[in-house]
């Protein structure tokens, strides 16, 4: 047994994800990051919304919450404020986080509350059969965009940055080893941390867009996603074809739960 496997509810495995689905790779990276940091299993909470990605919480052996679609962040905020000692990790999908949950996302980032959000970005609503999400790239096909979508997608890392997140990183299922460190650093940041993780959905996205097998989709990621330093050396036109990976942004702001505790103290008459 690998050390990180102690964090799985092995009696619930094999998981329900399709053959080749990238969610299993991303979930494994989270478990490895937790093992690496040696977090206390009893002080770590996993919260997710609804979607194939959000099923991950059910396979992880912590106190876990599988909440409502788009609502992982309000639940996570409540948990963190009630008990700031806990490590609160949020698993969400591109629909869950950026469509129905978009408003919660910008405000959780704005508050800089100490949560670590791992967005499993497969560019599609996987669970419901392949509707376009706010992260579906232009021209890609979806059940709701049979001729290809023309809605401009968000860049979720830029949204997080503008909203005030203090740690932002991007990794992929192909780059599964460095992904572990990106998640671990996010957990260590005392503030709102966001790790966009590109994953393949061969069933609801790849097949409709003729992207080939799960392995072919992973190989695509290995070519389009490049380290930030290499990305910065590209011309503006070249950048259109690529995405930067690694730690993209860090900042320092007061953390919300700590500020909240100060107010509680003050309101209770403690002037110190």
Partner 1 sequence: MIIKVNARFCKGCNICVAFCPKQVLALDSMGKVCVVDESACIGCGQCELRCPDFAIRINKEEKA
Ligand X SMILES: Cc1ncc(C[n+]2csc(CCOP(=O)(O)OP(=O)(O)O)c2C)c(N)n1
Distance of CA 159 to the CA centre of its chain: 13
Site track 217-246 with partner 1 (rule: CB under 8 A), x = hit: -xx---------------------------
Choose between 8 and 256: whose C-beta lies nearer to ligand SF4: 8
Residue 120 contacts residue 92 (beta carbons within 8 Å): yes
Which residues contact residue 133 at a Cβ distance below 8 angstroms, ignoring those fewer than 6 apart? Answer: 93, 94, 95, 98, 99, 123, 124, 125
Write b or e for each residue in 105-137: b if 16 or more Cβ atoms lie within 10 A of its Cβ, otherwise e: bbebbebbbbbbbbbbbbbbbbbeebbbbbbbe
Residues in 66-85 at the binding interface with ligand X, rule: CB under 6 A: 69
Residues in 19-38 at the binding interface with ligand SF4, rule: CB under 6 A: 21, 23
Segment interacting with partner 1 (CB under 8 A) among 96-104, 187-195, 215-223, 263-271:
215-223
Please choose which of partner 1, ligand X, ligand SF4, none residue 176 contacts, taking the beta carbon within 5 to 8 angstroms, the exact cut-off set by kind: partner 1
For residue 53, the minimal CB distance to ligand X (Å) is: 3
Residue 170 contacts residue 198 (beta carbons within 8 Å): yes
Please choose which of ligand SF4, partner 1, ligand X, none residue 2 contacts, taking the beta carbon within 5 to 8 angstroms, the exact cut-off set by kind: partner 1
For residue 10, the minimal CB distance to ligand X (Å) is: 22
* Member of 50, 56, 201, 257 binding ligand SF4 (CB under 6 A): 201
59 forms part of the interface with ligand SF4 (CB under 6 A):
no
Closest by CA to 221, choosing from 174, 186, 260, 257, is 174
Closest by CA to 138, choosing from 154, 126, 122, is 154
- Of the CA atoms within 13 Å of residue 191, those in its CB half-sphere come to 20
Contact residues toward ligand X (CB under 6 A) are 50-53, 69, 93-96, 120, 122, 124-128, 133, 201
Residues that bind partner 1 (CB under 8 A): 2, 5, 8, 13-15, 17-25, 28, 173-174, 176-177, 202, 213-216, 218-219
């Amino acid at each position: 047994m690998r050390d990180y496997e102690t964090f799985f509810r092995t009696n619930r495995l094999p998981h329900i994800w399709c053959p080749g689905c990238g969610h299993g790779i991303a979930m494994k990276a989270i478990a490895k990051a937790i093992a690496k940091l040696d977090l206390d299993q009893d002080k770590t909470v996993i919260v997710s919304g609804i979607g194939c990605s959000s099923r991950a919480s059910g396979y992880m052996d912590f106190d876990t919450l599988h909440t409502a679609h788009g609502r992982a962040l309000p639940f996570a905020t409540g948990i963190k404020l009630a008990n700031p000692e806990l490590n609160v990790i949020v698993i969400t999908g591109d629909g869950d986080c950026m469509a129905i949950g978009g408003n919660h996302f910008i405000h959780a980032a704005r508050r800089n509350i100490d949560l670590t959000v791992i967005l499993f970005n497969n560019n599609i609503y996987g669970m419901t059969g392949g509707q376009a999400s706010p992260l579906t790239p232009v021209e890609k096909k979806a059940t709701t965009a049979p001729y290809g979508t023309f809605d401009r997608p968000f860049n979720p890392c830029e949204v997080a940055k503008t909203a005030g997140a203090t740690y932002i990183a991007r990794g992929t299922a192909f780059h599964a080893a460095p992904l572990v460190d990106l998640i671990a650093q996010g957990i260590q940041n005392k503030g709102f941390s966001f790790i966009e993780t590109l994953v393949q959905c061969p069933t609801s996205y790849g097949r409709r867009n003729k992207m080939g097998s799960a392995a072919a989709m992973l190989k695509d990621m290995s070519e389009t996603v490049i380290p930030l330093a290499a990305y910065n050396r590209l011309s503006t036109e070249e950048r259109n074809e690529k995405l930067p990976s690694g730690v993209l942004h860090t900042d320092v702001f007061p953390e919300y739960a700590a500020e909240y505790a100060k107010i509680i103290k003050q309101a209770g008459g403690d002037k110190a």
